[in-house]
């Protein structure tokens, strides 16, 4: 695919990001764009490797290797190299309902398994993907595609996050009448309120797609909590099938002394409040201005908290990581095509380094307790270094190192330690079967729950995971739901 010697002739090149300091003054997306000539060269780096791993979507060592939605990456790389942009868009849409989302927020496991990446920087797959869809919108190629006829079947989808949107898109394409229930005031779920605007613009990107889905016939009902505002039993009487896509939104807490102090929030509450304030001037954010901020936990959510607190005008920001600092290159026990567990600075850390001079992350460190002032507000976080080893009972884990205790000033603490599974009230009300991790029990690629005609997809079924896995599962659940409704299915 592409140019036979492209991976030799061209170096990996990504568009520059906006200047880290200047972009702290707004909530606009941080990325610039490459000109088409350079994108063509980048597509030409795809090396016709014969057995491409980039689109396999396998789990290796518990991590995604290749694209979970099986994007036909070598094919659209070749089309971009040849200047066939509309054909590349058609090929991209065969597997991906929303490439404008994955091209912005997916961590690109496809690039981690790119064959070029064995001995050189991998192909810029993610950037090419988002460039294809953005050009598609610019050229007017992306238009509403309502189904030619309706089946007469009605499907309810609970949750409008990544899994819910992809399920809705596919079921609507099959001709079913789809209603998506969302408890928030805007549709989009994680895409709307869990990811900051500087990574994924809400009006120009998220709502553009929501509006397109509405034009295709999907109905969104917001401010509606199923089981509370809408009795769960009405799902069975008003709809022929239901797909549950509520996500894994129960946060992992940190029950250490002082947790009750004011000024300590789970990260998603902080990010949600901020996005509401960005979209609605009358809404108040949880403000980090003038404060020392301590973020406990890493990953994308921790990074988003760093970038958000910097834009608020925090005085300092520190991010505590209980794990060791990753190596600069793949370790011997992390071979290709596994996801490379290597050190990198994401956008938030780059911004913190530009403003304060260093990466805000502190590794092999954990909090022991929070200290408050006389008014019950948090004022400090007590931390200690750890090492990973076996304790006296033979259990491997982080062990505190005596003598390494420190006190970090903090008037705002954000807990970004991941999620424990779906919230349970709706599932209790439905009396639906769950697995030992409290996720909805439903087999992957089947998605059928213990209730006839009820399917589950995304994080509420598999646990906390990547947006692209949610798209995979939403599409799969739509396929099986369509099969249930019609006896057969043409959905992929």
For 82-110, write each residue's pLDDT tens digit: 999 999 999 999 999 999 999 999 999 99
Contact 18, 32 (CB under 8 A): yes
Task: Say what the pLDDT of residue 62 is.
Answer: 87
* Domain residue ranges of the chain, discontinuous segments joined by +: 6-138, 154-249+420-486, 253-417
pTM over 0.75: yes
* pLDDT band, very low/low/confident/very high, at 392 (cuts 50, 70, 90): confident
pLDDT over 70 percentage in the chain:
100
Q: What is the mean pLDDT of the chain?
A: 96
For 350-379, write each residue's pLDDT tens digit: 999 999 999 999 999 999 999 999 999 999
pLDDT over 90 at 286, yes or no: yes
Question: Could you tell me which CATH class the domain 253-417 is placed in?
Answer: alpha beta
* pLDDT band, very low/low/confident/very high, at 4 (cuts 50, 70, 90): confident
pLDDT over 90 at 3, yes or no: no
Task: Say what the pLDDT of residue 1 is.
Answer: 59
Note whether 154-249+420-486 and 253-417 share their fold: yes
Q: Average pLDDT in the 140-159 region?
A: 97
Q: Which of 302, 294, 293, 298 is nearest to 321 (CA)?
A: 298
Give one DSSP letter per residue of 244-295, joined into a string: E-----EE-----TTTTSBTEEEHHHHHHHHHHHHH-TTSPP---TT-EEEE
Tell me phi and psi for residue 369, to 5 degrees.
Answer: -165, 160
Q: Which helix (H) or strand (E) holds 380?
A: strand 378-390
* pLDDT band, very low/low/confident/very high, at 51 (cuts 50, 70, 90): confident
Of the options 1.10.1060.10, 3.30.465.10, 1.10.3720.10, 3.40.50.1240, the CATH number for the domain spanning 6-138: 1.10.1060.10
Contact 409, 379 (CB under 8 A): yes
């Amino acid at each position: 695919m592409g140019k036979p010697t492209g991976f030799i002739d061209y170096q990996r090149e990504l568009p520059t990001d906006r200047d880290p300091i200047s972009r702290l003054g707004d909530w606009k997306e941080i990325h610039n764009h490459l000109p088409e000539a350079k994108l063509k060269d980048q597509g030409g780096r795809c090396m016709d490797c014969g057995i491409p791993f980039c689109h396999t979507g396998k789990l290796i060592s518990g991590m995604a290797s290749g694209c979970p939605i099986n994007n036909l990456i070598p094919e659209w790389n070749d089309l971009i190299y040849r200047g066939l942009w509309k054909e590349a868009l058609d090929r991209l849409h065969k597997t991906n309902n929303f490439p404008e989302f994955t091209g912005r927020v997916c961590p690109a496991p496809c690039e981690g398994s790119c064959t070029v990446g064995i001995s050189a920087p991998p192909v810029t797959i993610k950037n090419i993907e988002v460039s294809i869809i953005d050009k598609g919108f610019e050229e007017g190629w992306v238009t509403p595609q309502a189904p030619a006829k309706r089946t007469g079947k009605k499907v309810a989808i609970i949750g409008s996050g990544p899994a819910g949107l992809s399920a809705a898109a596919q079921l609507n394409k099959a001709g079913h009448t789809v209603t998506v229930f969302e408890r928030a005031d805007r549709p989009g779920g994680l895409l709307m309120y869990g990811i900051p605007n500087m990574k994924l613009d809400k009006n120009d990107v998220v709502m553009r797609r929501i509006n397109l889905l509405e034009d295709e016939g999907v109905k969104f009902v917001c401010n509606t909590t199923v089981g509370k505002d809408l009795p769960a039993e009405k799902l069975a009487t008003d709809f022929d099938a239901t797909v549950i896509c509520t996500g894994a939104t129960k946060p992992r807490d940190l029950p250490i002394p002082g947790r009750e102090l004011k000024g300590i929030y789970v990260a998603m509450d902080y990010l949600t409040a901020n996005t509401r304030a960005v979209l609605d001037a009358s809404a108040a954010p949880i403000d980090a201005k003038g404060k020392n901020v301590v973020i406990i936990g890493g990953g994308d959510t921790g990074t988003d908290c760093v970038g958000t607190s910097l834009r608020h005008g925090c005085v300092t920001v520190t991010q505590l990581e209980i794990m060791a600092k990753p190596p600069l290159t793949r370790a011997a026990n992390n071979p290709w095509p596994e996801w490379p567990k290597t050190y990198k600075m994401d956008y938030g850390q780059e911004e913190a380094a530009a403003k304060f001079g260093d990466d805000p992350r502190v590794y092999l460190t954990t909090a022991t307790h929070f200290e408050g002032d006389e008014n019950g507000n948090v004022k400090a976080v007590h931390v200690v270094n750890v090492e990973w080893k076996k304790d006296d009972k033979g259990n491997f884990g982080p062990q505190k190192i005596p003598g390494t205790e420190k006190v970090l000033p903090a008037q705002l603490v954000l807990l970004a330690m991941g999620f424990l599974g779906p919230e349970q009230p709706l599932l209790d009300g439905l009396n639906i079967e769950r697995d030992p991790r409290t996720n909805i029990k439903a087999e992957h690629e089947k998605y059928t729950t213990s209730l006839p005609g009820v399917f589950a997809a995304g994080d509420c079924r598999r646990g906390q995971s990547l947006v692209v896995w949610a798209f995979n599962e939403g599409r799969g659940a739509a396929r099986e739901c369509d099969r249930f409704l019609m006896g057969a299915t043409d959905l992929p």
